[in-house]
Structure 1
Amino acid sequence: MIKLFDNGAYLLNGTELVEDNADANAILTQKLGTAPSKEEAARNTMAYGILEKHNTSDNMDNLKIKFDKMTSHDITFVGIIQTARASGLKEFPIPYVLTNCHNSLCAVGGTINEDDHMFGLSCAKKFGGVYVPPHQAVIHQFAREMLAECGAMILGSDSHTRYGALGTMAIGEGGGELAKQLLCRTYDVAKPGVVAIYLDGEVAKGVGPQDVALAIIGATFQCGYVKNKVMEFVGPGVDKLSADFRIGIDVMTTETTCLSSIWKTDEKIKEWYDTHYRPEAYKEMNPGSVAYYDGVVYVDLSKVKPMIAMPFHPSNTYTIEELNANLMDILDDCEKRALVSLDGKVDFTLKDKVRDGKLYVEQGIIAGCAGGGFENICQAADIIRGRSIGADEFTLSVYPASTPIYMELAKNGVLADLIETGTIVKTAFCGPCFGAGDTPANNALSIRHSTRNFPNREGSKIQNGQISSVALMDARSIAATAANKGYLTAATDLDVEYKGQKYFFDKSIYDRRVYNGVGKADPSVEIKFGPNIKDWPEMIALTDNLLLKVASVINDPVTTTDELIPSGETSSYRSNPLGLAEFTLSRKDPEYVGRAKAIQAVEKKREELGCFCKADESMKPMMKEIKAKFADREITGSNTGYGSTIFAVKPGDGSAREQAASCQKVLGGWANIAKEYATKRYRSNLINWGMLPFIMEEDFAFDNDDYVFIPGIREAVQNKDEIIKAYVVNKDFKELDLKLGSLTDDERQIIMDGCLINYYKNN
C-alpha cells in the first residue's frame, strides 16, 4: 500500500521514479543522455519555485518569506492583532481574513465569544481586513473558496492551514509569525526538504480521502520521514482524484508534522476555480521534466482500504478489516497506550464496546475542514439514504464546512436524505475537532471525520475522572457504521450507488454577509473591547544569568499542545492571557500552575528589590553556593533572572496555538528543555515569546523543583554558542550541555529582548 524510499529520487516527466542509488547516474544517462546534478534537479520541484518567488532574501538556503494572504479564526486573531497593535500596527498590509468558526456557539463564558467577534469586525474595519461571521464557514473552507490561487502562499494561525491541492503553498504557524507579516517583516526558515508523495493507481469504491490520509500518516509520523519538509503530490494517481478528494487528503498532511504541501494541478482544479467564479486564480502546475526529491512516499491507491486511527493519535492506524479481525488484541494495545497518555489517572477501556464480537460506537461526526466537504457529505448520504441510525445510544451529526455547501445540500435533496435517517445537520463549526461541540459521554467512543484524536481533547477532564475517546475515520465508513446502527462497518462492505452530485457554488451568500474591507482601512473606527479582552502583560528582557526551577516533568514520548494548554472550554479565554494561563497543563499536570506562580512571585520581588535573599529568605543558602561555585562571575539579584521551566521529551505536536508557549511565559516561564521539538511551529512559538528552546541530548532524570543555573546565558545567546553549560544546583551542580539549535539573528534578539512585542518596541 505504502512504501518509503530509503534514498532521494529523481522524477522524470512527472511519472517515472529513479531512486538515488549507485545505479542512478547510469539510468539517468541512458534515459536523458546526461545525468543532471541533484542541486539542479531540486530546483525543478514545484515547492522550490513557489518558495523562490516569495523569498525576499538573496539566499535560498535561509528563506525570508513574505506571504500573499493570511487567515485566522476567533481563538487566535485577538491575540495576534493585540501583539501587532502593541508593536505599531496601522493597517493590514496584505489581505487578512478573520473567520469565526471556533467560538461560534457562545455557550461558555457569558459574552466572551461574541465580544471577540465584535473585536474582529471592528478591527477588519479599522485595519482593512475581511470578517466572516459565525456559522458562515470554517476557516479553511473559506480560504479554499475565496483565497487560494495557484502559485500563491498563505499563512494561517491554525495548524491545518493546507491548500496544496489547489496549488497554494500554505503554512500553519503560531500568532507571532502572523504578527510579523502584519508588521511587514518576514517568515524566516531554513530551506525545507521536499518529499514526493507519489500517487499511483485508483481508489476502490467506498474508499475516501481520510482513508488515504490516515494510511500516509501511519507510515510517516513515527519515523519523522516528512518532519518539517514540504510534501509534493505527484504521479498518475493524482489525475484520478477529484478536487474534493485531494483536499481531503491534503488537509491531513499536518498530522505527519510536515511544514507544508503542494500538488500538481490539472483540469479538475481548473474546474474548481471556475465553479467558485475565480478562473483567474488557476494555472497548471507541474514539476520540471527532471525533479529531485529528498525522499519518496509511494502510495498505491488501489490497495488502500477503509482505515481507522484508534485513540490517541492520528498515526495509530489500522484497516477496519484488520481491527475487526483482531479486535480484542488491538483494544488491549489501546489500553496500554492509554496508560502512557493518561498517566494511569483514569480507568480506560474500549473492550466494553464489544457486543457479539463487533465494536459498537456511541457517536459519529462528519465535520470541519477535513470532513465537511460537499463530496464527503453527499457520498455519506448515498450510503445511509433510506435507512435509520436507530433509537439507541448512537448519534450522527454532520457539519457542512460552509454555508454555500449547506445551501447546495438543501437544494439537491441531500439535506432531507440525511435528516430522514435521524442524522442532525448543523452549521459550519470547528468545535467537534477540539472538544467544543458534540462532546461524547464519559467512557464513550466517537468516530469522526475530523483532524485529531489526541487525549484530553474531546471534553475529557482526567482530573475529574472523565474520559472519552475518538477514532478517526472517513465519512463513508462513518455513514456505513450509522447504517449499521453504530456497529463499526467499512464502507466497502456495502453495495452503494453513488450519485456523483455536481456542486454549484452560490457566491451571493458571502457577498451578502462577509465584510470585505481590503484596501479600505478606516483609522477613525474604534476597536470594540469586551471585558475579557486583555493586553499582554509586560515581559522583561533576558538577564545575564538565569536560574530556572523545574515546574513540570513530562516523560511521555510526545506531548501535544492540547496537553500544554487544553482546548474546549478554555478557548473562551484565548483573548485573556492571564485568565487562560490558569489552565496551563491543567489536564496533564494540575500542580504546574501553582508551582509556576510561586516561582514567579519570587521573581517579581527580585525585579523590585534587586536581591534574591530579600525576595525569598530560603534562597539565601543556595545563592551562596552558586556564588562560591562561580566566583569568577558577577552574580547578583539585578543581573540574574529567576523563572520556571518544563522538561518534556518531545513537546509541541498538534495545534499551532501560540498559547501553548505564551501561557508558560505569562506564568514566568523562561525556557523549555526537551530531547527534540515535535514541530517547528511550537519551537517558533517559544522563541516569539522570548523563551529559550533548549535541546538536551544526554539522558538526565529531572525532578520537579530542581534548580538549573545557567551562567552567562545572555552572552551565550548573543555569541551563538553551540553548547551552553547549565548546572543542576541541588544535584551536586551536575553539569549539562544544552543547545539552542539554529536561530536567526532576529530570533536571538527576540529572545534577548524578552518577546516579540519587546523586539518591535526596541526596533
Structure 2
Amino acid sequence: MIKLYDTGAYLVDGRELIADDQNAQAKLSSLIGKAPSKEEAAKNTIAYSILKAHNTGKDMDNLKIKFDALVSHDITYVGIVQTARASGLEKFPLPYVLTNCHNSLCAVGGTINEDDHMFGLSAAKKYGGIYVPAHQAVLHQYMREMMSGCGKMLLGSDSHTRYGALGTMAIGEGGPELVKQLLDKTYDVKRPGVVAVYLTGKPQIGVGPQDVAIAIIGAVFAKGYVKNKVMEFVGDGIKNLGVEYRNGIDVMTTETTCLSSIWATDEQVEDYYAIHGRKDQYKKLSPGQVAYYDGVVYVDLSTIKPMIAMPFHPSNAYEIDQLNANLEDILALVEETGRKQIDNPNIRFTLRDKIKDGRLLVDQGVIAGCAGGTYDNICDAADILAGHSIGVDEFALSVYPASQPIFIRLVDNGAISKLMSAGATVRSAFCGPCFGAGDVPANGGLSIRHSTRNFPNREGSKPGSGQIASVALMDARSIAATALNKGVLTPATDVDCNFTKPKYYFNGQVYENRVYHGWGNPDPSHELKFGPNIADWPAMSPLTDHLLLGVASFITDPVTTTDELIPSGETSSYRSNPFKLAEFTLSRKDPDYVGTAKKIHDCEKKRLDGGLPLSEEPLYHLVSLIKTIPGSENVREEAKKGEIGIGSLVYAVKPGDGSAREQAASCQKVLGGWANIAKEYATKRYRSNLINWGMLPLLIEGEPVFGKYDWIFLPFIRKAIEEKKEKIQAYALVGDQVRPFIVTLGDLTDDEREIILSGCLINYYKNH
C-alpha cells in the first residue's frame, strides 16, 4: 500500500505522523506539550539542516549552495572543463571526480572515445582532479564507496546523482551548474519543499529495491507530488532494509522529478562506511522531535509486490501478477499509449505478439548500472539461477557489476560462477545498457532491465531506420526468475530460493592501483590532451533589444524527454563536439528541426556579418507585419542597426523530463536557438540548462496561438528582462495575421537574468 497525504504532516520522534488538519495542534500538544509552529517544525527536517550548512546566502529562502564534491562521466566532463576553461578556470577548488563509464567501450568513431578519456586524465593532472579509468566503476557506485558522507552535499552532471541513503544530499544537474562550482560560484535555488517518504513494514522475500522504487514512482510521478522537492526517507521500515537495498530505491528517486533525496541513517550505514574504510564519514541523521513535511508518501513495504514498469516510462507501473492476469488488456493499452509517444506511422509497435500460451515471453534480461549492478542484487540473482540454465533459445541475460570491488567479491563468493554456469554473460562496470550503448535488443524485442529508464528508443533502436525495441524495468530478482523460466515473465516471489546473503568485503586495492588522485595537487604546466573530435564552443551573441524567432519545432506530446530533445546512445561519442552533436537534435521526434533551425540561423549570421537581407523573404513579409504593431513602427531602422536578433525556438507542452544532459539545450543554442516556449518545464535542471545557455525559458497559459514554421516577435525583450517584468508582450506572426499573446519567465535570480542578457554562461563569466 502506498498512500499520498492530501496535506502536509508533522512527524513526532521520527515515528508518528499527524496530518496537518484542524486537529493537528491539539494532537501535537497532547503528545509533547507546547507544539512548535509549522515554520519552526519545517526547520527540523534532515534536509533543512544539510541545506543550511551548505548555504552561503543571507537567508534560507533563496539558497546559494556550495557543494563538497563534484562528479562527471566521460560524456559530460569534456564540455564542462572546456566551458570552465573558456571562463577562466585555473584549478579545481573542490574534489572533482572524472569517471569513465559511459563511452568506455571505445567502439564508435575510431579514437574519439579514448581521446576524451585522455583529455579527462590530463585535466585531472592540470587542475587537480580525481580520474577513475574505464571499467573500474560506474560513477554513482564509486561516489557511494569513496566520496559520500553523512551531511555532505554532492553535485553531478548525471541525473541519477543520488546518495541519500548514505546520508548525502546529491543533485544531478547540467554541466554549467558544475562549471559554476568550479569557478567558485554558487548553486542558486529557492528552498525546496520537503516530502516525507515514510517506510514501514518489511518487504516480502523476493521483493527487491526496484519493486519498491517503481511502486513509488507510479504513485507520485503523474501527480507531480514531489516535483523539485526533496524526498526525505523516514520511518521504522528503514531498519528492515540493507544499505544497498536503500541505495537501489534512492537512485530511482530521480524518476519522480524530485530535486534530491535524504534518508535517516543508522548503524547499518555506519557499518557501510566502516567496511569501505571511511567510518569517519558517518554520523547519525534524523529529524528533530517534531518535523513538518509538505507532504507524505506512506509506504507499507510488506504490501509491495514484484513490479514491472512497462514501456515507455518508469511510472507506467504494474504488479507483475496483475500484468500476467490481464495480458491482452494491459498490453493493448501500452501499445496504444506507446504508438502515440513514438508518433511514427512507419514503425509498427506491438507487444501482444509476445504472448505465448497465455504467458508473456521476453527476449532479453539485463542487470546493470547504478540501480541494478549492486552486490546484493547480483548475489540474489545468482542464488535464483544457481544450478539451472537460462536456455538455448532467444532469451539472453547480461550482468554488469557496478564496480571492480563488487566484481572481485562476487568472484570470491562464487556468484559469478553461478551466473556464468547458468548461461548469463558477465561484463565490466558500464552504464551503456541504461542509455542505449550496450545490449541493444533486436528489432521488435522486449528487454527487461534492472536499470534506470525505459524511454522510447533509449535502449538503442533507431526509429529513422525503421527500428523499434522496448524496455520494461524490473528488479534483478524477478529478472533472474524470468531467466530461470527461459524468458517467461515471472515474479521472484513465485520462485522457491534459499538466498544465501554472503557478507560483503570491500577490496579497495584496485582503486589504489588505478585511480589517479590529484585533488589538491594541480600542475598548471601540464598540457591538456586534445583529440581531433574535441571542439571549442562557438561564439554566442548577447541578447538583442528585440527578438524575431521562428518556430522550428512544435511538439504536442504531454511530456517531452531529454532523450527526445537530444538522443542518447549513438550520439554519446559526439558530445565533445558541439557542431557534430547538434546534427542529432530532435532527430527522433522532429527530423525536420535541424534543417529548419539552420535556415533561420543563416539569417542571424547575416545580421552578425553587418546587415539583414530585409528585402528577402521571409524577412520582408515579417517586417511589414511587425510595423503594424503599436510601438514597433521603427522596426526596419532597428533591424538595420542589428537590434533585432533572429533565432529559432522549440515549443513543447512539458519539456525536459529525464536526463540532466545539458546538450538538450546547448544543441538548440548551437543551431541558433534563443528560446523554448512551454506550458511547464518538467524539471528544474532542464530549465536551468536553458538559462545557462542563454535561452529564454518562456511560459504560456492555455493553447498556443501559433504553430510550426510561424514566427514570434518579442519587442523590447532585453528591457523586459532588465526591468524584471512579470508579463511580457509577444506577437505571433501567422500568415498575414498578428496575434498578440503573453509570455512569462517564471522566477529568475539576478544572476540568471544577467546570464540570459549576456547570451550564455561563458559570456557571463567573460564579462566578469
| Fold similarity call, TM over 0.5 | yes
Secondary structure of 1:35 counterpart: coil
Matched residue, 1:349? 350
Matched residue, 1:370? 371
Matched residue, 1:15? 15
Matched residue, 1:560? 561
Query: Are 2:705 and 2:732, in contact at CA under 8 Å, matched by a contact in 1?
Result: no
Deviation, structure 1 residue 536: 0.2
Deviations 1:635-668, CA, capped at 9 Å, x for gaps = 3221000000010000000000000000000000
Query: What letter is aligned with 2:686?
Result: Y
Matched residue, 1:72? 72
Task: Tell me how far apart the structure 2 counterparts of residues 550 and 165 of structure 1 sit (CA, whole Å).
Answer: 44
Task: Tell me how far apart the structure 2 counterparts of residues 729 and 413 of structure 1 sit (CA, whole Å).
Answer: 68
Work out whether 1:384 is the aligned partner of 2:388: no
* Greater alpha carbon shift after TM alignment, 387-396 vs 621-630: 621-630
Deviation, structure 1 residue 50: 0.2
Secondary structure of 1:223 counterpart: coil
Query: What letter is aligned with 1:693?
Result: P
Query: Are 1:232 and 1:262, in contact at CA under 8 Å, matched by a contact in 2?
Result: yes
Secondary structure of 2:627 counterpart: helix
Deviations 1:467-524, CA, capped at 9 Å, x for gaps = 0000000000000000000000000001110001101100111000000000110001
- The residue correspondences of 1:194-205 to structure 2 (distance < 5 A) are 194-205=194-205
Work out whether 1:600 is the aligned partner of 2:605: no
Deviation, structure 1 residue 87: 0.3
Matched residue, 1:233? 233
- The match for 2:739 among 731, 734, 739 is 734
Measured at CA, do residues 632 and 457 of structure 1 come closer, stay the same or move farther in structure 2, by a change above 3 Å? closer
- The residue correspondences of 1:126-145 to structure 2 (distance < 5 A) are 126-145=126-145
Matched residue, 2:438? 437
Work out whether 1:751 is the aligned partner of 2:756: yes
- The residue correspondences of 1:537-556 to structure 2 (distance < 5 A) are 537-556=538-557
Matched residue, 1:150? 150
Query: Are 1:672 and 1:694, in contact at CA under 8 Å, matched by a contact in 2?
Result: yes
* Greater alpha carbon shift after TM alignment, 443-452 vs 605-614: 605-614
Matched residue, 2:106? 106
Task: Tell me how far apart the structure 1 counterparts of residues 618 and 373 of structure 2 sit (CA, whole Å).
Answer: 57
Query: Are 2:706 and 2:734, in contact at CA under 8 Å, matched by a contact in 1?
Result: no
Task: Tell me how far apart the structure 2 counterparts of residues 248 and 658 of structure 1 sit (CA, whole Å).
Answer: 25
Task: Tell me how far apart the structure 1 counterparts of residues 211 and 654 of structure 2 sit (CA, whole Å).
Answer: 27
Deviation, structure 1 residue 740: 0.2
Matched residue, 1:644? 648
Secondary structure of 1:613 counterpart: coil
Secondary structure of 1:729 counterpart: strand
Query: Are 2:603 and 2:612, in contact at CA under 8 Å, matched by a contact in 1?
Result: no
Work out whether 1:172 is the aligned partner of 2:172: yes
Task: Tell me how far apart the structure 1 counterparts of residues 688 and 593 of structure 2 sit (CA, whole Å).
Answer: 22
Task: Tell me how far apart the structure 1 counterparts of residues 631 and 742 of structure 2 sit (CA, whole Å).
Answer: 21
Query: Are 1:338 and 1:344, in contact at CA under 8 Å, matched by a contact in 2?
Result: no
Query: What letter is aligned with 1:748?
Result: R
Task: Tell me how far apart the structure 1 counterparts of residues 632 and 757 of structure 2 sit (CA, whole Å).
Answer: 23
Task: Tell me how far apart the structure 2 counterparts of residues 465 and 295 of structure 1 sit (CA, whole Å).
Answer: 44
Deviations 1:513-571, CA, capped at 9 Å, x for gaps = 00000011000100000000000000000000000100001100000000000000100
* Greater alpha carbon shift after TM alignment, 549-558 vs 605-614: 605-614
Query: Are 1:214 and 1:308, in contact at CA under 8 Å, matched by a contact in 2?
Result: yes
Query: What letter is aligned with 1:702?
Result: F
Query: Are 1:443 and 1:469, in contact at CA under 8 Å, matched by a contact in 2?
Result: yes
Matched residue, 2:676? 672
Task: Tell me how far apart the structure 1 counterparts of residues 523 and 389 of structure 2 sit (CA, whole Å).
Answer: 53
Deviation, structure 1 residue 618: 4.0
Task: Tell me how far apart the structure 1 counterparts of residues 112 and 464 of structure 2 sit (CA, whole Å).
Answer: 25
Deviation, structure 1 residue 608: 1.1
Deviation, structure 1 residue 463: 1.8
Matched residue, 1:360? 361
Deviation, structure 1 residue 33: 1.2
Deviation, structure 1 residue 461: 1.4
Query: Are 2:705 and 2:739, in contact at CA under 8 Å, matched by a contact in 1?
Result: no
Deviation, structure 1 residue 629: 2.2
Deviation, structure 1 residue 128: 0.1
Query: Are 2:625 and 2:738, in contact at CA under 8 Å, matched by a contact in 1?
Result: no
Deviation, structure 1 residue 628: 3.5
Deviations 1:255-284, CA, capped at 9 Å, x for gaps = 000000000000000000000000000001
Measured at CA, do residues 467 and 646 of structure 1 come closer, stay the same or move farther in structure 2, by a change above 3 Å? same
Question: Identity of counterpart residues, as a percentage?
Answer: 66
Query: Are 1:647 and 1:702, in contact at CA under 8 Å, matched by a contact in 2?
Result: no
Q: What stretches of structure 1 of length at least 5 have no aligned partner?
A: none
Task: Tell me how far apart the structure 2 counterparts of residues 259 and 510 of structure 1 sit (CA, whole Å).
Answer: 30
Deviation, structure 1 residue 609: 2.5
Deviation, structure 1 residue 624: 2.3
Query: Are 2:381 and 2:477, in contact at CA under 8 Å, matched by a contact in 1?
Result: yes
Query: Are 1:553 and 1:702, in contact at CA under 8 Å, matched by a contact in 2?
Result: no
Matched residue, 2:252? 252
Give the aligned CA root-mean-square deviation in angstroms.
Answer: 0.9
Deviation, structure 1 residue 612: 4.1
Secondary structure of 2:350 counterpart: coil
Deviation, structure 1 residue 617: 4.6
Query: Are 1:404 and 1:507, in contact at CA under 8 Å, matched by a contact in 2?
Result: yes
Measured at CA, do residues 263 and 631 of structure 1 come closer, stay the same or move farther in structure 2, by a change above 3 Å? closer
- The residue correspondences of 1:471-486 to structure 2 (distance < 5 A) are 471-486=472-487
Deviations 1:71-105, CA, capped at 9 Å, x for gaps = 00000000000000000000000000000000000
Task: Tell me how far apart the structure 1 counterparts of residues 214 and 600 of structure 2 sit (CA, whole Å).
Answer: 43
Matched residue, 1:660? 664
Measured at CA, do residues 254 and 390 of structure 1 come closer, stay the same or move farther in structure 2, by a change above 3 Å? same
Work out whether 1:685 is the aligned partner of 2:686: no
Deviation, structure 1 residue 351: 0.5
- The residue correspondences of 1:166-565 to structure 2 (distance < 5 A) are 166-345=166-345, 346-565=347-566
Task: Tell me how far apart the structure 2 counterparts of residues 283 and 631 of structure 1 sit (CA, whole Å).
Answer: 62
Deviation, structure 1 residue 701: 5.1
Secondary structure of 2:170 counterpart: strand
Q: What stretches of structure 2 of length at least 5 have no aligned partner?
A: none
Q: TM-score, normalised by structure 1?
A: 0.99
Task: Tell me how far apart the structure 1 counterparts of residues 122 and 316 of structure 2 sit (CA, whole Å).
Answer: 43
* Greater alpha carbon shift after TM alignment, 633-642 vs 736-745: 633-642
Deviations 1:13-66, CA, capped at 9 Å, x for gaps = 000000000110111111111221000000000000000000001110000000
Secondary structure of 1:497 counterpart: coil
Secondary structure of 2:614 counterpart: helix
Deviations 1:435-487, CA, capped at 9 Å, x for gaps = 00000000000000000000021112112110000000000000000000000
Secondary structure of 1:447 counterpart: strand
Deviations 1:118-174, CA, capped at 9 Å, x for gaps = 000000000000000000000000000000000000000000000000000000000
- The match for 1:760 among 730, 741, 765 is 765
Task: Tell me how far apart the structure 1 counterparts of residues 178 and 589 of structure 2 sit (CA, whole Å).
Answer: 29
Query: Are 2:275 and 2:505, in contact at CA under 8 Å, matched by a contact in 1?
Result: yes
Q: TM-score, normalised by structure 2?
A: 0.99
Deviation, structure 1 residue 633: 5.7
Secondary structure of 1:188 counterpart: strand
Measured at CA, do residues 344 and 190 of structure 1 come closer, stay the same or move farther in structure 2, by a change above 3 Å? same
Measured at CA, do residues 385 and 618 of structure 1 come closer, stay the same or move farther in structure 2, by a change above 3 Å? same
Corresponding pairs, count: 762
Deviation, structure 1 residue 736: 1.1
* Greater alpha carbon shift after TM alignment, 214-223 vs 619-628: 619-628
- The match for 1:698 among 690, 698, 702 is 702
Query: What letter is aligned with 1:112?
Result: I
Query: What letter is aligned with 1:683?
Result: R
Secondary structure of 1:436 counterpart: coil
Query: Are 1:388 and 1:422, in contact at CA under 8 Å, matched by a contact in 2?
Result: yes
Task: Tell me how far apart the structure 2 counterparts of residues 269 and 335 of structure 1 sit (CA, whole Å).
Answer: 43
Query: What letter is aligned with 1:561?
Result: T
Secondary structure of 1:628 counterpart: coil
Query: What letter is aligned with 1:728?
Result: A
Query: Are 2:705 and 2:741, in contact at CA under 8 Å, matched by a contact in 1?
Result: no
Task: Tell me how far apart the structure 1 counterparts of residues 734 and 385 of structure 2 sit (CA, whole Å).
Answer: 64
Work out whether 1:725 is the aligned partner of 2:722: no
Query: What letter is aligned with 1:10?
Result: Y
Query: What letter is aligned with 1:414?
Result: A
Secondary structure of 2:609 counterpart: helix
